[in-house]
Structure 1
Amino acid sequence: AETVALLDAVRTRRELSPTAADATSAVIHDSSGTPSADPPVATLPQKPMLVATNRLDLKRFSWVTAAVILAVLGWIAVRPEPEAAASTAARSLVVLPMLNQTGEPRLAYLATGIADGVARRLEGIGGIKVRSGARSDWSTATRRDMRVIGREFGSTILLKSSIRRAGDSLEVRASVVDASTFEERAIVAHRFTMTGISDAESRLAAEIAGAVFRRPMIAPQRSDRPIDAESHRLTLEGFHQFDTRRQPRAPGTPSGSDSARNLFSRAVSIDPMNARAWAGLTSVWGSRTVGDALPFDEGYERTSAAAMRALTIDSLQGTAWASLALIRALKYRDLGIGMELMRKAEAAEPSNAEVFLIKETLLTSAHLFDQARDAARVARRLDPLASLYVDNEAAVELCADRPAAALQLYESELAMNPSDGLSQKGLTRTLARLGRYDEAIASWRKEAAKTGEVELQNALAVANGKEGYWTLKHAEGRKRLDRLARVGGRVSPMALVRETFASGDEDGGYVAIGKAAAAGTRSLYRLGCMSALDEYRDTPRFAAAVARIGALRAR
Structure 2
Amino acid sequence: MARSEGGRGNGLARDSGEDQILLRTVPCKGFRFVGEVSEVREASLSEASPAEASAAALDADKPSIAVMPFQNLSGDPGQAYFADGVVEEIITALSRVRWLFVIARNSSFTYRDRNVDLEQVGRELGVRYVLEGSLRKAGDLVRITGQLIEASSGAHLWAERFEGHLEDIFALQDEIAASVVGAIAPQVELAEIERAKRNPTRCSTAYDCYLRGLAHLHRGDREAIGEAITLFKRTIEIDVQSASAHAMAAWCYLWRKVNGWTLDADKEAAEGLRMAQRAVELGRDDAVALTRGGHALAHFTGDLDTGIALLDRAIFLNPNLASAWFLGGFLKTWHGECESAIEHFERAMRLSPVDPELYRMQAGIAMAHLFAGRIETASAWAERSYSNLPSFLMVVALIASTRALSGRQEDAKRAMEEVKRLDSSLRISELQDWLPISRPEHLAVFADGLRKAGLAE
Q: TM-score, normalised by structure 1?
A: 0.42
Larger RCO: 1 or 2 (CA < 8 Å, sep 6+)? 2
Which structure's CA Rg is the greater one? 1
